[in-house]
Homo-oligomer: A and B are copies of this chain.
Amino acid sequence: MTTIYDVARVAGVSTATVSRVLRGSDVVRADTRQRVLGVIEALGFIPDASARGLSWGRKGIIALVGLNRGTDEIDIERSSLMFIDHIVHAAEQVLRGTEYSLLLTFGTRGEQFDKRIRALAAKADGLLLAEEILGPRELRSLTAQVPVVVIAGNPGQAAADAYLSDNASGMTALAAHLTGQHRYRRLCFVAGPKDAPDAVARQAAFEQAVAATPDSGIDQVIYGDFSEDSGVSAARILLGRTALPQAVACANDQMAIGAVRELQRAGVRVPADVAVTGFDDLYPSRIIDPPLTTVSQSIHELGRRATHRLMARIASPGLAPQAELLPTQIVIRTSCGCRPQ
């Protein structure tokens, strides 16, 4: 391995000068700099980041931790760009312009995962936690050691900065559309995992909105896990009933897509026989027939802001934790029963 000592020796200067050239210090004489640069090039020298990090006190790394929901790993290959992938792209895009790099890991909650998160924390200057992956105690203990920003976590915890989408307002608007414009009265809700704050918020908002509408009610709540497969299962449960509800609102697009496809497979027409809606506005929602009425949230913006905040917090650790709520917007397509425009 080539070190700064090798470069210094070959160039006939001290390691300090090499270091100055590397850091771009302007006190180095032009010809010295050129000579050193030449040697660096010739030797293919790459300064070791561990040594630099140790010396400088910063590693130039930000870690992103994402949640893998229960399903098979194989599923990933057969599924769409999901929440976590958008966060990855957003964070990477922000970091691309800086000297930081993005480190990442996914996992399912548990002791094992907690250990891995600590291992990641050791390698990074700050942590981005996507979804609720740590209990309050673990989160607090982590924030004591390293800057942490939580995305789509439980808004209750003030231990770290939090970035959330306004699930409630979007879902409320969607419910109003179903019960208002379409006058659906017998509704069904396909909920997400109970440990996902987003899922809980969406369900609560939907139930509340429907409860506030005279004559309307929620027939049945079916619990899924955000996966397309669980949407399929939900549809099967619906198909086993004596009568379908008028509308099925799903806690995310993936489940809605699974439900639509399974209903269609059984000969049920969407939205003629039953309306179906989603949440997220992912790419396949526009592709599917009928195009999905859903609520869009800007996951990318969520990731972007959270990353910026983390960098700000690394720069000045004293910052008071804050929470930010990003707007959501209802997207009317045709799966709710609206006509194509």
Interface residues of A (CB under 8 A from B): 1-2, 44, 46-54, 59-61, 63, 73-74, 76-82, 85-86, 88-89, 92-93, 95-96, 99, 101-107, 116, 118-123, 141-142, 144-146, 257, 261, 283-284, 287-289, 298-300
Contact = CB atoms under 8 A, between A and B. Distances in A.
8 contacts: A1-B145, A46-B118, A49-B50, A54-B54, A76-B300, A93-B106, A101-B123, A283-B284
A101 B314 CA distance: 21
Contacts of A76: 86, 89, 300
Contacts of A119: 60, 99, 101
A96 B113 CA distance: 9
B77 A80 contact: no
A63 B102 CA distance: 9
Contacts of A50: 49-54, 59
A105 B51 CA distance: 21
B96 A116 contact: yes
A54 B2 CA distance: 14
A105 B92 contact: yes
B103 A105 contact: no
Nearest to A257: B287
A141 B40 CA distance: 12
A236 B116 CA distance: 50
B105 A101 contact: yes
